[in-house]
Structure 1
Amino acid sequence: MRSTAAFGLAGLLLLAGCAADPAPPAPRAVSSSAGPATSSPAGAAAGSTTFPVSAGDVRVSANVKHVANVPPRAPLNGPQAWGTDLAFQGDHAFVGNFDGFTVFDISDPAKPSVVSQVLCPGEQNDVSVTGNLLFLSVDTARSGPGCDAGRGGVETSSWEGIRIFDISDKAHPRFLSAVRTDCGSHTHTLVPGDAERVYLYVSSPGPEPQTPGCPAPHNKISVVEVPLKAPATAKVVSQPVLAQVGEEAELLSGCHDITVYPEKNLAAAACFGDGILMDITDRANPKVLQHVKDEENFAIWHSATFNNDATKIVFGDELGGGVSATCDSTIAKTKGANAVYELGADRRLRRLGYFKIPREQTPEENCVAHNGSLLPIPGKDIMVQSWYQGGVSIWDFTDATAPREIGFFERGPVQGVGGSWSAYYYNGHIYSSDISKGLDVLRIDDPLTDPAKQVKTTELNAQTQVSY
């Protein structure tokens, strides 16, 4: 566990997870090629159930429809088997889980079905995909890199970092290899390189000086190079320093999330203490262009999203680390919110406005800005975003000084930590990974968002933006 006070979402959620973490389950029978991963094709267990909208449980705006829900199922339905991030490829969605990941067939968004599940504990298991490869982030010490490894300790043999899978057969994902990274991998960002390789920008909190794997200072990220023809040889090729020695470095405790816009050679990093703009022309060696701070309103810089022409960046603040109720009347509208920054031609950032969901939540509902993505709408800046128990919000920041919500979906309060972890737009629908309720599919029908339905993509990693 990380000792830094800026750990936020990761620290608080993982502390909750560690308190009663059971011993790792024994591997289930799989094909011999599956290595230490445990995968179960959909045909090997009872099929998933798609639930219709329930008026007693769900509130939606008039322009949003709750299309489907697939609840958690064994082996990824334990007490800390929380749903996390999503990635997409063709007719498939990949959903991370503290205990592994699930591959869904979404060729019919109204009837998503489970193709396979991989039992591979390692919080948070944030996920990305490219070609036949899938990557998972592990930010808790394990006894080894394999899916059958138990929890590790502070000894030198403990492992955390990136796991790599072959998903050429989506019914039987196969563990390939793993890469240890300093302080683990809380999240990672897929960065296209050339035809021969991709890169992963690895974000993690730190330092934890008493452990060998997370030394001080932790004022950096890790860059992993993955040769596409030999992914098992992936390795860390650089550790770019984001803040030099001095006060800035002391305050920076690693990064939480990085969004890249390769066509613009830009990246926006949400780091513990700062928002950072980077030049990624040299993919293996990103360079810092600017630090921005908001010490009055921002507690934990969590994530970032560019608009399509890269003239704005939305940074999110995860006040309370994802387990606190920050959307009630006691918390200011500028805290636990989004800040919209203008990105000028001089590549300098200037803050324009804030956005927070206008629907007040109860003091029992964990609620704060979390993962989202841009909708592909020419001439408009509209994104969908998760807010934990605040639900899913679709909001317009075309006028960055007066952003507004235009649609939403939310459930009533649940006991403990819950709600939407990630919500992304993909090929006409919104997919939300709910911590305890599983995969939700939504559709928004609105004149402002309808142009997005004309845009089709073959792959989506939300932190790897492409122009449309």
Structure 2
Amino acid sequence: MASRLGRFALALAACLAAVSAAPAQASAPQAAAKSSPNVKLVANVPKKGAFADLTAYGTDLAFQGRYAYVGNYNGFTVFDVADPTKPKRVSQVLCPGAQNDISVKGDLLFLSIDEPLSGSSCKSDYGDPSSSRSWEGIRIFDISDKARPRYVKAVETACGSHTHTLVPDKQGKSLYLYVSSYGPAAAFPECKPPHDKISVVKVPIKNPKAAKVVSTPVLFPDGGNEDQPGLLLPTSGCHDITVYPAKDLAAGACMGDGVLMDISNREQPKVIATATDENFAFWHSATFNNAGNKVVFTDELGGGGAATCTASIGPTRGADAIFDIVGKELVFKSYYKISRHQQASENCVAHNGSLIPVKGRDIMVQGWYQGGVSIWDFTDSAKPFEIGYFDRGAFKPRDIAGSWSAYYYNGYIFSSEIQRGLDVLKLTDRRTDPAGRVRFKILNAQTQYRY
């Protein structure tokens, strides 16, 4: 989500008020799910315990081997998905902190914390952002024992960590985390303007306790986009970064700008191309195609809390924008947005997704909050079209809900449903069936490898 809950009211406060008028009724009947004929829900594991609270949003996902890892505002859950139709909860780690966006590599798991806490431990309370003693940043866990993940280390980063991106070094000895954060304020000691940079954390694989910030490269020395109509905030940091290590490229969704970066020097990424768009309110995330010559940027109009999939908003706002990479330029080609209009009570906007590995085609699955899950083809950058969808219908009581992230992993689509838990979908379609022959050993959606 775009907002930093608790620190900034922003436009999201009004959005939340518009969709939360009804009292909380956990037993309220839910709308019937709808889907295209080629998409079927094959499993759902509801949120449990402290994770089941309405404010304990389910967030991002990561995968490794037979395991899926699901973030939650109250911690994370490890699932065994060896049989995707029967996911088994292996462990649930209580460790509150928004948003707990998640990634994994080897025996290490990383969480992003973007809300000031009284300390870095899992027992910390929410803190005072104006205090120099508050903490936010990256937490590191050892997951060698999936049933008993072990807290290892915390790394504080300026302005916290809204999201992070795993970037392997070229020697295989360390990992880098590109930490995206934003929202500076003069009253916040660790997050003063201008916040025109990212934090780069280096994690020695054999000694994760030595993890530390090694650089804070400035991406926007000229200040970035400050006067685009409808922008939630001026460019002051990035929301999300996706890397394509084989090409030494990264794409950054940076609030008012979409950028392309050279990451050949892992510790000093440099912006080599910038794009703006009059229809974009908040550049939220980015996805390369498999060839690395296109980028799909998402616009999180309304911060994730508003109903922007309506007829009045239209097809070009709160959408995806497809750019071709031509030389060192980002060239706009078209927009893609789901065509199913949602109710005024349903928060809906373009959000997180990943490629479906079909050779010779550019096909993506994507979460749209209460707009559900959409599978779409952008092989022709100028003429994207939908292949299939799954829509659970409006959540009752009125609250933030829907698919935060939808990713394809080894034959199935996994969706982190903010309120209703982990969904597993099966897509059966001649255009995407060849993807079933591609097997991933790991998937962190913001770290893209050629399939």
Tell me if structure 1 keeps the 8 A contact 2:402–2:418.
yes
* Greater Cα shift, 206-215 or 83-92: 206-215
1:289 deviates by 0.2
Partner of 2:295: 313
Q: Is the 8 A contact 1:201 1:223 kept in 2?
A: yes
Matched AA of 1:163: R
Work out whether residues 223 and 235 of structure 2, in 8 Å CA contact, stay in contact via their aligned partners in 1. no
Task: Report what 1:357 is aligned to.
Answer: 338
Q: Secondary structure of 1:75's match?
A: helix
1:240 aligns with 2:217: yes
> Within the alignment, does 1:148 sit opposite 2:123 as a pair?
yes
- CA change 1:11–1:451 in 2 (3 A) is farther
Which whole-Å CA distance do the structure 2 matches of 1:290 and 1:75 have between them? Answer: 44
Aligned-partner Cα distance in 1 for 2:210–2:239: 26
Q: Structure 2 vs 1, CA of residues 219 and 2 (structure 1 numbering), >3 Å: closer, same or farther?
A: farther
Q: CA deviation at 1:252?
A: 1.8
- Rounded Cα–Cα distance in structure 1 between residues aligned with 2:11 and 2:420: 23
Pair 1:71-2:46 in alignment: yes
**Distance of 2:69 and 2:97 partners within structure 1:** 16
- Cα contact 1:140–1:160 (8 A) shared by 2: yes
Deviation at 1:109, TM superposition (A): 0.5
In the aligned structure 2, how far is the partner of 1:355 from the partner of 1:5? 29
Instruction: Map residues 8-157 of structure 1 onto 2, 5 A cutoff.
Output: 57-153=32-128, 154-157=130-133
Quote how far apart the aligned CAs of 1:254 are. 1.1
Segments of structure 2 that go 5 or more residues without pairing to the other structure are 21-28, 228-233
| Change in 2 beyond 3 A, CA 1:247/1:240 | closer
Q: 1:430 aligns with which of 413, 420, 427?
A: 413
Q: Is the 8 A contact 1:11 1:321 kept in 2?
A: no
> What residue number does 2:160 align with?
184
Give how far 1:347 is off.
2.3
The Cα of 1:341 is off from its aligned counterpart by 0.2
Instruction: Pick from 391, 396, 405 the counterpart of residue 410 of structure 1.
Output: 391
What is the number of equivalent residue pairs in this alignment?
Answer: 428
For 2:370, which of 389, 399, 411 is the aligned residue?
Answer: 389
Contact 1:260 1:267 in 2 (8 A): yes
Question: How many Å apart are 1:79 and its aligned residue?
Answer: 2.7
**Structure 1 residue 75: deviation in Å?**
2.7
Seen in structure 2, the aligned counterparts of structure 1 residues 428 and 318 have a Cα distance that, compared at 3 Å, is same
> Which position in structure 1 is the counterpart of 2:445?
462
1:209 aligns with 2:192: no
Residue by residue, what CA displacement relative to the aligned partner does 1:406-445 show, whole Å, maximum 9, x if unpaired? 1000111112111000000000000000000000000100
| Percent pairwise identity | 59
Deviations 1:224-254, CA, capped at 9 Å, x for gaps? 0000111011000111111114565894211
- Aligned pairs for 1:154-233 (under 5 A) are 154-193=130-169, 194-233=171-210
Change (3 A) 1:7 1:261: farther
Q: Secondary structure at the match of 1:206?
A: coil
User: Alpha carbons of 1:204 and 1:10: their partners in 2 closer, same or farther (altered >3 Å)?
Assistant: farther
1:58 maps to a residue whose letter is: A
Q: Distance in 1 between matches of 2:236 and 2:315?
A: 26
Distance 1:195 1:400 in 2: 35
Structure 1: distance between partners of 2:320 and 2:74 = 30
Amino acid of the structure 1 residue aligned with 2:419:
S
Distance in 2 (CA, whole Å) between partners of 1:126 and 1:286 is: 22
Tell whether the 8 Å contact from 1:4 to 1:208 is kept in structure 2 after alignment.
no
Per-residue deviation at 1:208?
A: 1.6
Q: Which amino acid aligns with 1:259?
A: T
Report the Cα distance in structure 2 between the residues aligned to 1:232 and 1:195, rounded to whole angstroms.
17
- Residue deviations 1:381-420 (CA, integer Å, cap 9, x gap): 0000000000000000011111011100011111211100
TM-score normalized with structure 1 length? 0.88
Unaligned runs of 5+ residues in structure 1 are 18-53
Q: Aligned letter for 1:155?
A: S
In the alignment, residue 324 of structure 2 is paired with which amino acid?
A: E
Cα distance between partner residues in 2 of 1:303 and 1:192: 20
Distance 1:11 1:334 in 2: 22
Amino acid at match of 1:213: E
Structure 1 Cα separation of the partners of residues 45 and 11 of structure 2: 29
The answer to whether the Cα contact below 8 Å between 2:349 and 2:371 also exists between their aligned partners in 1 is yes
Would the aligned equivalents of 2:30 and 2:394 in 1 still touch at CA under 8 Å?
Answer: no
Q: Which deviates further from its counterpart, 346-355 or 385-394? A: 346-355
Q: 2: distance between equivalents of 1:8 and 1:235?
A: 34
> Are the equivalent residues in 1 in contact too, given 2:12–2:306 (CA < 8 A)?
no
352, 356, 364: which one pairs with 1:371? 352
Rounded to whole Å, the distance in 2 between the matches of 1:73 and 1:2 is 22
Give the 3 Å change call, closer, same or farther, for CA 197–6 of structure 1 in structure 2: farther
Higher relative contact order (CA closer than 8 Å, sequence separation 6+): 2
